[in-house]
Structure 1
Amino acid sequence: MTVTRAAKRTAARLGAVVLTGALLAACGSSTDGASGDGAGGEVTITVDLFGSFGYKEAGLYAEYEKLHPGVTIKQTDTEDEADYWKSLQTRLAGGGGLADVQGIEVGRIASVAKEQAERFEDLRKYGADALEEQFAPAKWAAATGGGGEVLGLGTDVGPEALCYRADLFKQAGLPTDREELAKKWATWDGYLELGKQYKAKAPGKHAWIDSVGSLYSIMIGQEKERYYDASGKLIWQDNPALRTAWDHSVEAARSGLSAKLDQWSPQWNQAFAAGSFATIPCPAWMLGYIKGQAGDAGKGKWDVAALPGGAGNWGGSYLAVPKAARHKKEAYELIKWLTAPEQQTRLFEKQGNFPSATGAIEKVAGAKDAYFSGAPIGKIFGDAAKAAPVQVLGVHDQNIAQQITNALSEVERKGTSPEEAWSNAKKGVENTLG
């Protein structure tokens, strides 16, 4: 998943329950020696995530508990990754209220590796350095601290495609074949043009896309350099690729193609079942989210096609163990198991989270998804993962992205001029970065 998340992975996720730091206080901190909760060596491992990584839904927690008698896993999660990250920072600063396992969205991992390494366990202590060859080099390197510390294990990545409602396309007189559509929207200009055709004939009040923020996020996910360059210099204001993503998003807003929905909001969740939009930029982890929100009634109505403009990545996450965790060794054993190729393969097959473990990527190549009209998701997302650029990750990627999508929302919702909205984005970034 994740999340890009922004993921984000961010990360888009299923069945979330918002949980404040106060409610987590029982997780508390203790010494490295703490390994059990009571008599008989029984251990409760606490896991705190944003949205749903799919572990519970795929039955992985239940299987782990069966394989490890005496172990109980308790998960809490927060739907909005920005809220989750803010709460996590508060708890890290105070040293209390932390779970044994904390999820980290890919847009935050640079902050952990470059600024907060002292607050997380170096997993080499438990043998994690032996796992390096199991992961794609870029995925592994992003969670490596300046002193070589291994600060997290990779869960998924977010290769991008486009999910669409074939039934709504048919009602509007548009093609429904995924290969034909991929040719028609080979470019983002082609995608917007098809959207205008859809709008002219769309049934009811069905929009072309959920929000211009999701359009921006998927487009910027196709770029190697977005907010920082490889040297760590901020480049977002002068990055032509970012301005192209901005301009296309503005065009979608001004053309009335958007349903104007805040991603992860209750209204957005309800819109999947209501069929309020015909297309949504779709990193692999979005598949499980769509299934959860659209339900059984959506089976066979959705399909997946290759993304306009080439491959990209949006989201993906890590599992980390805070220094203040109560059960560090047990937490490591759990995340080692959850991120192993076998479990990543099963998670993709059940939830759509595309694996970051190289062995799992090969295993899912032939996967198809009946819910999405039999789409060959293993090939679609596998091809995208192979072609996606290795992105430069900056310390404040998520913060900058949030300010830009906030500004695009002003254009979309309030009719704010693009010039004023861009100025507001600049001020927001300046205030955020200090």
Structure 2
Amino acid sequence: MATNGTARRSTRRPTRLAAIGVSALVTGSLLAGCADDGGSDSDTGRASDGDITLNVGLFGTFGFQEAGLYEEYEKLNPGVRIEQSVVERNENYYPQLLTRLASNSGLADVQAVEVANIAEVTATQADKFVDLGGQEGVDQGDWFDWKWQQGTTADGRTIALGTDIGPMAICYRKDHFEAAGLPTERAEVSKLWAGDWEKYLETGEAFMADGPDDVAWVDSASGLYSAAISSSESRYYDEDGEVVYKDNPDVRAAWDIATAAAEAGMTDRHEQFTPPWDKAMNNGTFATLSCPAWMLGYIQDKGGDKSADLWDVADAPRPGNWGGSFLGVPETAKNKEEAAKFVAWLTAPEQQAKLFEERGSFPSAPASYETPAVADATHDYFGDAPIGEIFARAAQDIPTQIIGPKDQIIAENIGRSGVRQVEQKGLSPEDAWQEAVKAVDNALDE
């Protein structure tokens, strides 16, 4: 679902209780899942007498097992058993993956790669992975071109196949909008800021003037920055692979949106995916937040029963992508051929649609958008919002961005460290920008 950090969130079904599930780009190096770091999650209740055991190395909770996809594959392929090991946080998982790739040991048959790291993997580790582009059952046309290209090397080797993406919307509290005299129907709400993050801020100004005194317009400035930069045409690298964030007007535009919200007191001043942020969501102390598809489950989980049907989903000011992951097969995999076959099956449009239906991971395969599981999906917690339609529409217009090898480092220091200096410490946007630049430069020199 490049990244400032990662968290995996999903719904169990689009219309049911949220569980932890899909990958995300969040401001902060968080990746919340259900397993202990390095722990094995093999207590599946399935037979243990298979001739081949495929080991799958993941971070967070992708939801494959919970959606029943492992069990289905085992039934279709007698003699194959699937076991997964899960590291909870990508900040721990990825360095471990690099170490094992360097030593050619300790690797699973299938390894996940987060979008924040895919550029570095394709640039520096491609020879350690199987080329899946010619694998039977793999059709490049099943994926968005930009998603396929992210897992493909400069010389055309596709070393990882895309799982989910994070098309964006805006989630909003209908009760708070009504109290502020703003429209509450999602179509009318979408019109308030259509095509322009500046209009989103203007609506926020109206809300702050007439809305409840104890409710902020948006949850956090850093989250707003992540959303704005994710919907831009460019970000931190140019086509030649050069770092250009300092002079990129798209980066400064996203920075200006986020810091303007912070300076105007529109934010609830919480860091995303922390206990205070969770509590604020439960208490309803902010009216909107940028909402990739995977965020719905998190809102339901933390908002609880008392917030049911108070939230709704509108279009984002501009389409963008905030999240996504990949699966690859190391060359040293014990069961390389079977693993490649399994990855091809697991990432096919049919399975991506099933994963969305069961867990809320939004597919990176547009062909799945025509299936009833996606096209007809609604979410009763969000007023029966047509989430399949909303997120499919957003996904079709996601801009193609260049993701560089150090995107995560740059984004963390701009979005989290820099923007939060304005929000938390009252630094001027210009002073905070200079601090962020220093932090990025130091990190890139390490």
Supply the distance in 2 between the matched residues of 1:56 and 1:411 (Cα, whole angstroms): 42
Instruction: Report the AA paired with residue 121 of structure 1.
Output: V
Q: How does 1:327-406 map to 2 (within 5 A)?
A: 327-363=335-371, 364-405=374-415, 406=417
Question: 1:410 aligned to 2:410?
Answer: no
Which residue matches 1:247? Answer: 256
Which residue matches 2:99? Answer: 90
Look up the SS of the partner of 2:381 in the other structure: coil
Query: Alpha-carbon deviation of 1:216?
Result: 0.8
Does the Cα contact within 8 Å between 2:37 and 2:89 map onto a contact in 1? no
C-alpha RMSD over aligned residues = 2.9
Query: Alpha-carbon deviation of 1:162?
Result: 0.7
Which residue matches 2:309? Answer: 300
Supply the distance in 2 between the matched residues of 1:126 and 1:100 (Cα, whole angstroms): 16
Query: Alpha-carbon deviation of 1:56?
Result: 3.5
Indicate the larger mover: 142-151 or 64-73. Answer: 64-73
Instruction: Report the AA paired with residue 424 of structure 2.
Output: R
Which residue matches 2:24? Answer: 10
Q: Where is the helix percentage greater, Structure 1 or Structure 2?
A: 1
Q: 1:45 is matched with which residue: 38, 52, 55?
A: 55
Supply the distance in 2 between the matched residues of 1:225 and 1:104 (Cα, whole angstroms): 22
Supply the distance in 2 between the matched residues of 1:409 and 1:80 (Cα, whole angstroms): 22
Query: Alpha-carbon deviation of 1:404?
Result: 0.5
Supply the distance in 1 between the matched residues of 2:66 and 2:35 (Cα, whole angstroms): 18
Does the Cα contact within 8 Å between 1:80 and 1:264 map onto a contact in 2? no
Does the Cα contact within 8 Å between 2:129 and 2:329 map onto a contact in 1? yes
| Gap change, CA 1:371 and 1:430, over 3 Å in 2 | same
Q: How does 1:12-411 map to 2 (within 5 A)?
A: 16-17=33-34, 19-20=36-37, 41=51, 43-49=53-59, 51-124=60-133, 126-127=135-136, 130-186=138-194, 187-203=196-212, 205-308=214-317, 310-363=318-371, 364-405=374-415, 406-411=417-422
Look up the SS of the partner of 1:10 in the other structure: strand
Identity of aligned residues (%): 45
Query: Which whole-Å deviations, capped at 9, do the CAs of 1:377-406 have from their partners, x for residues lacking one?
Result: 222222222222111222222221111012
Question: 1:423 aligned to 2:434?
Answer: yes
Normalising by structure 2, report the TM-score. Answer: 0.84
Which residue matches 2:12? Answer: none
Structure 1 runs not aligned, ≥5 long: 27-36
Query: Alpha-carbon deviation of 1:127?
Result: 3.8
Look up the SS of the partner of 2:121 in the other structure: helix
| Gap change, CA 1:258 and 1:171, over 3 Å in 2 | same
Supply the distance in 1 between the matched residues of 2:354 and 2:50 (Cα, whole angstroms): 32
Indicate the larger mover: 246-255 or 6-15. Answer: 6-15
Does the Cα contact within 8 Å between 1:10 and 1:81 map onto a contact in 2? no
Indicate the larger mover: 365-374 or 194-203. Answer: 194-203
Supply the distance in 2 between the matched residues of 1:67 and 1:283 (Cα, whole angstroms): 33
Normalising by structure 1, report the TM-score. Answer: 0.86
Supply the distance in 2 between the matched residues of 1:297 and 1:60 (Cα, whole angstroms): 33
Does the Cα contact within 8 Å between 1:48 and 1:75 map onto a contact in 2? yes
Look up the SS of the partner of 2:375 in the other structure: coil
Structure 2 runs not aligned, ≥5 long: 8-22
Instruction: Report the AA paired with residue 381 of structure 2.
Output: Y
How many residues are matched? 418
Supply the distance in 2 between the matched residues of 1:6 and 1:260 (Cα, whole angstroms): 18
